[in-house]
Amino acid sequence: MAKSVSPDAISTLLANPTPDSSSDLPEIVVQVLDLKQSGNRYMFSASDGKLKLRAILPSSQYSDVLSGKIQNLGLIRILDYTLNDIPNKSEKYLIVTKCEPVSPALESEIRSEVKNEGGGIVLKPKQDSAVKIEGGIVLKPKQEVVSKSAAQIVHEQQRNVAPAARMAMTRRVRPLVSLNPYQGNWTIKVSVTSKGNMRTYKNARGEGCVFNVELTDEDGTQIQATMFNDAARKFYDKFVLGKVYYISKGTLKVANKQFKTVQNDYEMTLNENSEVEEAANEASFVPETKFSFVPIDQLGPYVNKSELVDVVGVVQNVSPTMSIRRKSNNESIPKRDITIADETKKTVVVSLWNDLATNIGQELLDMADKSPVVAIKSLRVGDFQGVSLSAISKSVIKIDPEIPEAKKLRCWYDSEGKDATMASVGSGSSPSSMNGSRSVYSDRVSLSYITSNLSLGEDKPAFFSLRGYISFIKPDQAMWYRACKTCNKKVTESIGAGYWCEGCQKNDEQCSLRYIMVVKVADESGEAYVSVFNEEAEKIVGCSADELDILKSQEGEDNPFQLKLKQATWVPHLFRVSVSQNEYNNEKRQRITARTVVPVDFAAESRLLLEDISKMRASQ
């Protein structure tokens, strides 16, 4: 028998907008139409052949969409759901909280012979006293249920009510994925997975205090909640990291992408009238860790932004633990760098700190020869070496996790990845990468624009891209420094023998040389001195600082050191530079630093010029 939709499935959903229990639901099979991604959610229209209903898939089913189990024109069985009203409209949204695939894509949309005069889409439930479903099942209209607040739920549970009654009360607890700003009363059950410090602020309206928490429900969906002033003082001590709470009487609004730290379209605000009650007599739950992976070659747009990223990669290298001294309090903290790669054939360095460096980091070092797969949640993206990642206090690392993305990456690496040539994503934020703020084609300016705007970089570094030539390298400058081979920090000669590293707190017999030099860069508009560090300087000079030091020690009529520097001049490069303000002898000076240096890709450069010409023509 061919699989098909359940007769009058949409009418069944509309007649029972919030089911008491998923076990009491009749068979509800609908066809998926117009399946598409919207932000970090998948939207579709649920159809039974006669009626349609706009719907949202749960995040737990995203892997089924990516794997092809849930397809457009396919069939799914709805196991649990909630209906939400759309403000100022008679429509409703179906929030699917649990479903399972029934059939892949059918040849066409299922259409019933019974035509609907309203165009086939009805979003308002019938007002009949009962809805009759084929097969003799009669569903009575749902009796109005009064939503219970968090305080009511906890209070009634503490009175040791019967288990069945307790389940009836908690059934109104909503999953985070179903919340939106237009709902009235709701109650959520969440665990505190991150808690910020109390902060003070001052603005035109006066002074105040604020703090925020990150909340996660049992499905792994997260949301950030913020509290100001009286609410902040009321709830700061109440929220404890790792504990579970019932929360009600909060408000939601669209999240500010500039400040959000979790993957959710909305953010929550709790005021002094909000209710927060600890689920003291219940077993706490460990929220499922949900990832939203960013491919390594797509990290560019996140550099120096507040938004955190999740990555999955194969471990290529694990460094020993090093000790880093904080400038703020001179405290030493452990750090360890791991290098990971993914199917984009790009690598990136991830810095682990404190317990992650000593515990998880040591575990990775012990199994580094097996190239484990790691999934890491909540990493900050920096611009060290072009693009780099750094763990923070709430970062989570899973080694060889049982998730589809990790299994797929493992298969790729074992079959071809281990023999592939990898390149650092920092060096790849270059000619061919037209995406992201790190591209050498974004924010393109001339040198004169930078040198004539002396206020650039006053508050924070400003980033630009430019195309120019190395016009001069001063040969008698201090072009390098002695560096520790472990942490690359500057070392000093020990009284006896060897070199002392203050960062690693150890003495080594040998050290390496690393470039720290100034070059003059010129373009058609002018010239300026640019500071260049080791990796970028090696691309300009064409050899390492150790090799150049050997050339400098050689004497002869044709000095190889001078010749090497001369060969490096008048070669075109693309630069990504930062502009900042430094103070020297009580005088502010502009400092231009090369963050990325890459050769010119003339084909890509030509395409850029053609795009500029097209824009000029369109504006005329």
Reported as a single tens digit per residue, the pLDDT across 336-389 is 999 999 999 999 999 999 889 999 999 999 998 899 999 999 899 987 777 899
Flag whether 159 is in a domain.
no
- What is the full DSSP assignment across 26-92? ---EEEEEEEEEETTEEEEEEE-SS-EEEEE--GGGHHHHHHTSS-TT-EEEEEEEEEEEPTTSS-E
- pLDDT tier at 145 (50, 70, 90 boundaries)? very low
Decide if pLDDT at 75 tops 90: yes
pLDDT at residue number 131: 47
- 607's tokens: 């395409």
Residues 478 and 544 in one domain: yes
- pLDDT tier at 91 (50, 70, 90 boundaries)? confident
User: Rounded distance, CA 387 to CA 535, Å?
Assistant: 13
Residues 204 and 274 in one domain: yes
Residues 510 and 413 in one domain: no
Flag whether 328 is in a domain.
yes
- pLDDT tier at 454 (50, 70, 90 boundaries)? confident
- pLDDT tier at 118 (50, 70, 90 boundaries)? very low
Domain boundary (84, 103, 122) is at 103
Lowest mean pLDDT among 137-151, 308-322, 332-346, 387-401: 137-151
Q: Is 609 exposed, middle or buried (0-12, 13-18, 19+ CB in 10 A)?
A: exposed
Q: What is the mean pLDDT of residues 4-12?
A: 89
User: Rounded distance, CA 459 to CA 579, Å?
Assistant: 11
pLDDT at residue number 157: 56
User: Rounded distance, CA 119 to CA 112, Å?
Assistant: 13
pLDDT at residue number 142: 47
Residues 301 and 225 in one domain: no
Q: Which residues contact 75 (CB under 8 A, 6 or more apart)?
A: 3, 4, 5, 29, 30, 31, 32, 101, 102, 103, 106
Q: How many domains does the chain have?
A: 4
Give percent of the chain with pLDDT exceeding 90: 33
Flag whether 31 is in a domain.
yes
Flag whether 563 is in a domain.
yes
- 605's tokens: 């450069």
Q: What is the mean pLDDT of residues 438-462?
A: 81
Residues 597 and 570 in one domain: yes
State the alpha helices, DSSP H only, in 459-517. Answer: none
- 601's tokens: 């890709």
Decide if pLDDT at 148 tops 70: no
User: Rounded distance, CA 294 to CA 298, Å?
Assistant: 6
Q: Give the H/E segment covering residue 606.
A: helix 602-619
- pLDDT tier at 236 (50, 70, 90 boundaries)? very high
Q: What is the mean pLDDT of residues 183-210?
A: 85
Decide if pLDDT at 510 tops 80: yes
- What is the full DSSP assignment across 190-233? EEEEEEPPPEEEEETTEEEEEEEEEEE-TT--EEEEEEEHHHHH
- 118's tokens: 């309203």
Flag whether 458 is in a domain.
yes
- pLDDT tier at 194 (50, 70, 90 boundaries)? confident
Residues 460 and 511 in one domain: yes
Q: Which residues contact 237 (CB under 8 A, 6 or more apart)?
A: none
Residues 347 and 240 in one domain: no
Evaluate whether 191 touches 244 at the Cβ level (below 8 Å): yes
Residue of higher predicted confidence among 590 and 87: 590
**Residue 521: which domain range?**
435-607
Residues 225 and 263 in one domain: yes
Flag whether 454 is in a domain.
yes
Q: Is 313 exposed, middle or buried (0-12, 13-18, 19+ CB in 10 A)?
A: buried
Flag whether 134 is in a domain.
no
CA distances from 620 to 283, 316, 610, 613 (A): 68, 52, 16, 11
Domain boundary (103, 132, 152) is at 103
Residues 258 and 219 in one domain: yes
pLDDT at residue number 322: 87
CA distances from 440 to 348, 423, 424, 520 (A): 19, 17, 16, 19
Decide if pLDDT at 113 tops 90: no
pLDDT at residue number 95: 86
User: Rounded distance, CA 147 to CA 156, Å?
Assistant: 14
Residues 414 and 443 in one domain: no
Residue of higher predicted confidence among 400 and 557: 400
Which three-class secondary structure state does DSSP give residue 567?
helix
CA distances from 3 to 30, 76, 135, 347 (A): 11, 11, 17, 46
Residue of higher predicted confidence among 530 and 282: 530
45-64 per-residue burial string, b: 16 or more CB within 10 A, e: under 16: bbbbbbbbbbbbbbbbbbeb
Pairing mode, strands 52-56 and 92-103: parallel
pLDDT at residue number 481: 93
- Please, what is the Cα angle at 30 between 29 and 31, to 5 degrees? 135
For the domain that residue 265 is a member of, what is the CATH number? 2.40.50.140
Q: What is the mean pLDDT of residues 160-173?
A: 46
Overall pTM surpassing 0.85 (yes/no): no
Flag whether 150 is in a domain.
no
- State the helix-helix crossing angle for 163-170 and 150-158, rounded to 10 degrees: 180
Residues 200 and 233 in one domain: yes
Residues 236 and 325 in one domain: no
Pairing mode, strands 222-228 and 266-270: parallel
Evaluate whether 173 touches 153 at the Cβ level (below 8 Å): yes
